[in-house]
């Protein structure tokens, strides 16, 4: 996994999970990034006791705009078992971490509500964004993989595409998963543009995971080429 502090991918090699289809060669960017959003209170600022609203944690760069701009809510960054961000949105402080699992094609993406001074309910929405391409390439138009959802056990989302030699599974502890499979267009890789290489990317999402946050209780998902139960996430992080 690699990326930038802001969360916006600046190179085609950036991604949360990059796997070797035939180790150590044929590397594929599978999970490119995550769109993450926090809803505090009713989601409407000033309604339900004040301090509420909808806040993006993610940062995306397109050809003519950077939107959303979650980096503006970033209050700290450090390296633990992997990168750890802390955001403050309204009265809520939320920690996000990414941990690559040793010895497996798997990554743990975890969020923890550290505090919420106003006592308002806090919800989290996550949309995994998939590429499914050789890590030297980019995806647009006719090059898009034909991603589809696979039957999977409860608490697991499975996806596959004939153009991608590996399947991807998400195990999670979300309250619900809302299927809304679609493509997002024209993400821009700033560094590739500066170097004169193709700099645009389209990404696919299977839908949205929704969580209700409780202070100190981790939520999130494990993305892997073989299902790994979310209940294992703390042990996997500790062993990394």
pLDDT of residue 72: 97
Q: What confidence tier does 45 reach under pLDDT thresholds 50, 70, 90?
A: low
What 25-29 contacts at long range (C-beta under 8 Å, 24+ apart), as own/partner pairs, is 26/134, 26/165, 27/134, 27/135, 28/131, 28/132, 28/133, 28/134, 28/135, 28/164, 28/165, 28/166, 29/131, 29/132, 29/133, 29/134, 29/135
Model confidence over 117-158: pLDDT tens digits? 888 999 999 999 999 999 999 988 778 999 999 999 999 999
Residue range 88-105: mean pLDDT, rounded: 95
- What integer pLDDT is reported at residue 51 of this predicted model? 67
Q: pLDDT band for 15, please (50, 70, 90 cuts).
A: very high
Nearest to 11 by CA among 33, 42, 35: 33
Going by pLDDT thresholds of 50, 70 and 90, the confidence category of residue 62 is very high
| pLDDT of residue 47 exceeding 90 | no
Neighbours of 121 (CB within 10 A): 17
| Main-chain dihedrals φ then ψ at residue 6, nearest 5 degrees | -70, -25
Under the banding of pLDDT at 50, 70 and 90, the label for residue 42 is confident
d(CA 146, CA 164): 9
Q: What is the phi/psi pair of residue 27, to 5°?
A: -80, 135
Give the Cα separation of 37 and 179 in Å (integer).
17
Q: Which residues pair with 129 in a beta bridge?
A: 33
Helix (H, G, I), strand (E, B) or coil at 192: helix
The answer on pLDDT for 49 being more than 70 is no
Q: Any idea which of 37-51, 149-163, 179-193 has the lowest mean pLDDT? A: 37-51
The mean pLDDT of the chain is 93
% of the chain surpassing 70 pLDDT: 96
pTM as predicted: 0.94
| Per-residue 3-state assignment (H helix, E strand, C coil) for 82-101 | CEEEEEEECCEEEEEEEEEC
Can you tell me the distance from the alpha carbon of 133 to that of 117, in angstroms, rounded to the nearest whole number? 43
pLDDT of residue 48: 46
């Amino acid at each position: 996994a690699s990326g930038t502090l802001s969360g916006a991918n600046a190179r085609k090699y950036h991604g949360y999970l990059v796997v070797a289809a035939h180790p150590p060669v044929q590397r594929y960017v599978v999970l490119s990034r995550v769109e993450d959003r926090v809803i505090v209170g009713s989601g409407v600022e000033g309604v339900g006791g004040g301090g509420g609203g909808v806040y993006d944690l993610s940062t995306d760069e397109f050809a003519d705009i950077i939107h959303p701009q979650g980096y503006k809510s970033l209050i700290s960054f450090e390296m633990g078992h992997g990168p750890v961000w802390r955001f403050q949105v309204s009265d809520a402080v939320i920690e996000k971490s990414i941990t690559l699992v040793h010895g497996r094609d798997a990554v743990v993406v975890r969020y923890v509500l550290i505090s919420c001074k106003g006592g308002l309910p806090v919800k989290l929405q996550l949309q995994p964004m998939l590429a499914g391409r050789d890590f030297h390439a980019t995806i647009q138009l006719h090059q898009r993989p034909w991603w589809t959802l696979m039957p999977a056990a409860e608490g697991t989302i499975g996806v596959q595409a004939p153009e991608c030699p590996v399947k991807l599974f998400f195990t999670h502890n979300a309250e619900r998963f809302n299927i809304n499979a679609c493509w997002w267009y024209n993400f821009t890789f700033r560094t590739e543009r500066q170097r004169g290489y193709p700099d645009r990317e389209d990404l696919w999402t299977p839908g949205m995971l929704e969580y209700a946050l409780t202070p100190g209780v981790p939520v999130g998902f494990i993305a892997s080429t073989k299902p790994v139960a979310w209940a294992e996430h703390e042990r996997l992080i500790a062993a990394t």
